[in-house]
Structure 1
Amino acid sequence: MMVKVIFVDHTGLRRETEGAEGSNVMRVAVDNNVPGIDGDCGGMCACATCHITVDAAWADKTGERSELEESMLTFLPDVSPAARLGCQIKLTPELDGLTVHLPIEQF
C-alpha cells in the first residue's frame, strides 16, 4: 500500500508525495526530491538532517520520540515539542495523509 505524506515548507508550499507502507518519512522525502531533507546518515538516527515538525493534527498518530531520537534533536536550536526525525516515523496505513512541516534549514 502507498501512503500519502504532505511536506509543507516554511513558505507554505505543499508537496504531496507517496511512499510504500513500512518505509519512513525521510526516505519518502529523499526519493521524491523534497528540498530540505538530506538524510545524510541514511536513516540510522545518527544525524538530524531529516528534522521535521509533525502537524498538530497528526502528533498522536506518529508516536513518541525514542531516547536516541531525543538525543539527536538536542543538537538543534529551538526544538519544538512536535519536532521529529523523519527517519524515525514509519509509514503505516493510519498515517495516510500525514502532514509535516520543514524547517527553514537543516543543521
Structure 2
Amino acid sequence: MAIASLQRFSSQISRVSSISLYSKAVVTRSTATSAPTSNTSSSKKVADRIVKLFAIDPEGQKRQIIGLSGHTLLKALANNGLIDPASHRLEDIEACSAECEVNIAEEWLDRLPSRTYDEEYVLKRNSRARVLNKHSRLGCQVVLTSELEGMVVAVPEPKPWDTP
C-alpha cells in the first residue's frame, strides 16, 4: 500500500515539473518577443527623463523646477505651482489666449525651435503693442528636452481675470 501511494505521488511530481518547465518556456518566449526594440521616451526610466529648469516667479525669486522630457514647459510650471492649471487649457493652442505666455532668457532662445504660425498669431493677438517680444513664448508650445537642462524662464504675474 505504501509503495502504491509513493508511485502515485512520484507520477504527480513528474507531471507538475513537466508543466512548470512548459510554462517557464512559454513565459521566456513571450517576454523575449514583447521586449521593446527601441529606446523610446515612454520606455525610459523617469530619472532619465528629468529636466531641471529655473523659473523666475512674479515676485522675482529664482526657483529650480523639475520637468520631464516630452512634456511641455507649461506642464512643468503647473506641476511646480507657478501657474494655476485651472486657468489654462494645457497644450490646446486652438483655445489659447496667451495665458501661458512666458519669457525665455536670451541664451536659450536659439536652442528652442522657432515659433509656429499659430503661436505667433496668439502672441501678437494678445500683445497690447502688437509688437512681439522676442523672448515671449507660449509655455504650452515649448516641449522639454534634455538639451534644455538649466533653461531660465520668467513667469509673468497673472492677469486680473486669472486671480480668484
TM-score tier, shorter chain, comes to 0.7 to 0.9
Q: CA contact under 8 A between 2:105 and 2:135: conserved in structure 1?
A: yes
Match of 1:90 in 2: 143
Offset, 1:39: 5.7
Question: In the alignment, is residue 54 of structure 1 matched against residue 104 of structure 2?
Answer: yes
Question: In the alignment, is residue 7 of structure 1 matched against residue 55 of structure 2?
Answer: yes
Q: TM-score, normalised by structure 2?
A: 0.59
Q: Which has the larger radius of gyration?
A: 2
Q: CA contact under 8 A between 2:55 and 2:64: conserved in structure 1?
A: yes
User: What CA deviation, in whole Å up to 9, does each residue of 1:37-73 have, x standing for no partner?
Assistant: 7661121123211100110010101121100001110
Offset, 1:87: 0.9
Question: In the alignment, is residue 77 of structure 1 matched against residue 128 of structure 2?
Answer: yes
Q: Against the structure 1 CA distance between its residues 3 and 86, is the aligned structure 2 distance closer, same or farther, given a 3 Å change threshold? A: same
Offset, 1:92: 0.5
Q: Structure 2: which amino acid aligns with 1:87?
A: C
Q: Structure 1: which amino acid aligns with 2:103?
A: T
Residue ranges of structure 2 left out of the alignment (5+ in a row): 1-48
Q: TM-score, normalised by structure 1?
A: 0.87
Offset, 1:104: 3.0
1:65 to 108, 112, 115: 115
Question: In angstroms, what is the RMSD of aligned CA positions?
Answer: 2.0
CA distance in 2 between partners of 1:38 and 1:53 (Å): 21
Q: Structure 2: which amino acid aligns with 1:76?
A: S
Greater share of helix residues, 1 or 2? Answer: 2
Say which SS state the counterpart of residue 82 (structure 2) adopts.
Answer: coil
Say which SS state the counterpart of residue 62 (structure 1) adopts.
Answer: coil
Q: Structure 2: which amino acid aligns with 1:77?
A: R
1:18 to 38, 58, 66: 66
CA distance in 1 between partners of 2:101 and 2:85 (Å): 7
Q: Structure 1: which amino acid aligns with 2:152?
A: T
Identity of matched residues, %: 28
